[in-house]
């Protein structure tokens, strides 16, 4: 179908305008649509989903705006703060791939997985407004070990047991606590023997006291 206006190019846009309750329908080509309506789209936009980048940068943009505004409000009290904050916005940049926050706003996409880390501060608020949450619930890659688990795995046997002991005391499970206390003692004893240190062996009074206090 040809464009209703220029009658030369193919009509690609179906444009409906309501003026004073009167509806006017037109089939327009991209050029005429851009010229005679408020319709602004570049050719890549046609037939594509609404650019997430556009929506995104408006959401992220508002957040940026609001932090600046807040900073501006604080101008009376402290003149240095607002300029500082503005500066960090502009220079915020992923050190791994070099993507700046400005660039990210434009494209709506990250340059690498580290961007999430470098933009973390601004991001967590906007993620909340996008998803209503800022933490993942659900699947993880097969065999994935979380940071927390990794840290626990790296602890020594004694440290692990001390955590469990603390937990048992908090839950008032004294039998379990006593068992752990003895186990820790035995382990420490062994370590001491291994090291064959000359230092005076100290008795583990702390845990005992804690148990009695709990």
Binding site for another protein (CB under 8 A): 14, 47-48, 52, 56, 97-99, 103, 107-113, 115-116, 123, 126-127, 130-144, 146-148
Of 145 and 186, CB closest to another protein: 145
- Closest approach of Cβ 71 to another protein, in Å? 24
- Closest approach of Cβ 110 to another protein, in Å? 5
Residue 178 DSSP SS3:
helix
CA–CA distance, 173 with 146 (Å, rounded to integer): 28
Of 47 and 76, CB closest to another protein: 47
Query: 120-141 b/e with 16+ CB inside 10 Å = b?
Result: eebbeebbeeeeeeeeeeeeee
Whether the CB-CB separation of 27 and 11 falls below 8 Å is answered with yes
Q: Look up tokens 């434009």; give the residue.
A: 106
Of 77 and 141, CB closest to another protein: 141
- Closest approach of Cβ 169 to another protein, in Å? 28
The residue among 43, 41, 66 whose CA lies nearest residue 54 is 41
- Closest approach of Cβ 183 to another protein, in Å? 30
Of 112 and 214, CB closest to another protein: 112
CA–CA distance, 147 with 126 (Å, rounded to integer): 24
SS3 content of the chain, % helix, strand, coil (to 5): 55, 10, 35
- Closest approach of Cβ 80 to another protein, in Å? 31
- Closest approach of Cβ 115 to another protein, in Å? 8
Of 125 and 208, CB closest to another protein: 125
Whether the CB-CB separation of 162 and 183 falls below 8 Å is answered with no
Contacts of residue 44, defined as CB under 8 A and 6 or more positions apart, other chains included, come to: none
Of 63 and 174, CB closest to another protein: 63
The residue among 46, 37, 45, 35 whose CA lies nearest residue 12 is 46
């Amino acid at each position: 179908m040809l464009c209703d206006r220029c009658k030369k190019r193919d009509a690609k846009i179906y444009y409906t305008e309501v003026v004073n309750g009167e509806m006017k329908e037109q089939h327009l080509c991209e050029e005429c649509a851009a010229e005679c309506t408020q319709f602004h789209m570049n050719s890549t936009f046609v037939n594509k989903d609404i650019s997430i980048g556009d929506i995104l940068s408006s959401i992220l943009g508002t957040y940026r705006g609001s932090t600046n505004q807040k900073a501006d409000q604080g101008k009376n009290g402290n003149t240095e703060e607002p300029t500082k904050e503005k500066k960090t916005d502009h220079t915020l940049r992923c050190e791994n791939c070099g993507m700046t926050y400005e660039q990210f706003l434009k494209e709506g996409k990250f340059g690498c997985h580290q961007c999430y880390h470098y933009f973390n501060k601004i991001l967590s608020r906007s993620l909340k407004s996008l998803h209503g949450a800022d933490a993942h619930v659900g699947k993880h890659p097969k065999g994935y070990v979380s940071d927390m688990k990794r840290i626990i795995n790296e602890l020594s046997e004694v440290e692990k047991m001390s955590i469990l002991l603390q937990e048992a005391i908090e839950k008032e499970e004294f039998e379990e606590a006593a068992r752990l206390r003895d186990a820790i003692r035995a382990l420490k004893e062994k370590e001491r023997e291994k090291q064959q240190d000359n230092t005076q062996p100290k008795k583990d009074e702390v845990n005992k006291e804690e148990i009695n206090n709990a």
